[in-house]
Amino acid sequence: MKSLLNRRSALLATGPSHLVPVAHDHTAAAPDDPAASLTTAPASEAAETTETVRPVTTLRPVPVVPSQVSGRPVQMADTTEVEWLAEEEALTPFRVFRSFDYSVSLLFHARELAYYVAMYQEGVLWRALKATELEVAEAAFHHFEEQATRLSDGETRRAQLAAQNEQLARMIAQSEAQAERLRCDLQRNATQEQAVTGRQHQVRKEVAQLEAQRVAAQAQLNKAHRQIHQLNLTSNEGVPHLPGR
């Protein structure tokens, strides 16, 4: 910008004179002289006058691809020509980069000793550059590679979030299944515990009944033994006493 201003100042200082209207004494000029109302002004005054009405220079848009890479020229390639060369199998791929739906290829045209850098979107040729030196083509390839990476950032994040959501869904399903199993286990344990408690109560009841039966049977047995003993005593009273030898 500073160099442009210096160049413009130099041009204005050394430029030609301009005709500007000035006031004159009508008595000094002839009434039929058409140049009487105009005179040649100095270059400095012309510069001041044109400076106030000079239009603003239109800014140029930033190119999508650089016009030069590493200080060496690279030019836009004809996409139709690149597609035709690819169909004719006249291009040899040197580098290939792919990120989701975007891909970049560094292609070599051996017949013309030229290099093409092509960017594809969903397999369709989108942009293409042409260079005559490999270093320039590689720099252009890296430039397109960075563009493809930036363009696919959203898809990268989308894939990551989709995978994380699927993982969370699986973890939620596993957690819910585990919770359901725990609820079933608790319910089964409660049912089993109730059954065991009832069984123990029934066993204790049966044990009490059997104990009562045992006591009654023992008492009956004791009574029977007493009766037998009494009968034996009564039976033995009728046996005579024999003298001993």
Provide the residue type at 177 as one letter. A
Closest CA to 92 of 79, 109, 105, 117: 109
Residue 31: HSE in the Cβ half-sphere, 13 Å Cα cutoff: 1
Is pLDDT of 9 > 70? no
Residue ending a domain, choose from 98, 128, 151: 151
Alpha-carbon distance 13 to 5, whole Å?
12
Query: Cβ distance 11 to 46 under 8 Å?
Result: no
Residue found by looking up tokens 């005559």 in the block: 132
Closest CA to 139 of 106, 113, 114: 106
Q: How far is CA 88 from CA 80, 84, 115, in A?
A: 12, 6, 16
12 and 84, same domain (yes or no): no
Alpha-carbon distance 150 to 105, whole Å?
17
Provide the residue type at 76 as one letter. M
72 and 49, same domain (yes or no): no
pLDDT in tens, 144-153: 999 999 999 9
120 and 97, same domain (yes or no): yes
pLDDT at 146: 94
Round the average pLDDT of the chain to a whole number and report it: 77
pLDDT in tens, 45-101: 444 444 455 454 443 443 445 545 445 578 998 899 999 999 989 999 999 999 999
Confidence class for position 11, pLDDT limits 50, 70, 90: very low
29: in domain: yes
Tell me what the mean pLDDT of segment 187-195 comes to: 92
Confidence class for position 212, pLDDT limits 50, 70, 90: very high
39 and 87, same domain (yes or no): no
Is pLDDT of 109 > 50? yes
Closest CA to 4 of 49, 60, 42: 60
215: in domain: no
230: in domain: no
Domain total in the chain? 2
Closest CA to 82 of 126, 50, 42, 45: 126
142 and 72, same domain (yes or no): yes
Residue ending a domain, choose from 127, 151, 175: 151
Range of the domain at 118: 68-151
74 and 127, same domain (yes or no): yes
136 and 94, same domain (yes or no): yes
- 147: which residues sit within 8 A by CB, 6+ positions away? 119
Token representation of residue 206? 């049966």
Share of the chain above pLDDT 90, in %: 55
163: in domain: no
Is pLDDT of 142 > 50? yes
SS3 68: strand
168: in domain: no
Provide the residue type at 217 as one letter. A
183: in domain: no
pLDDT at 72: 55
147 and 110, same domain (yes or no): yes
pLDDT higher at 245 or 224: 224
Alpha-carbon distance 76 to 130, whole Å?
6
DSSP assignment letter at 65: S
pLDDT in tens, 148-189: 999 999 888 999 999 999 999 999 999 999 999 999 999 999
Residue ending a domain, choose from 129, 151, 173: 151
The per-residue b/e assignment along 99-123, b for 16 or more CB within 10 angstroms, e otherwise, is bbebbbbbbbbeeeebbbbbbbeee
220: in domain: no
Residue 168: HSE in the Cβ half-sphere, 13 Å Cα cutoff: 6
28 and 78, same domain (yes or no): no
123: in domain: yes
**This prediction's pTM:** 0.47
111 and 37, same domain (yes or no): no
Around Cβ 131, how many Cβ atoms within 10 Å?
Answer: 23
pLDDT at 34: 39
pLDDT at 46: 44
pLDDT higher at 66 or 109: 109
Closest CA to 106 of 72, 148, 68: 148
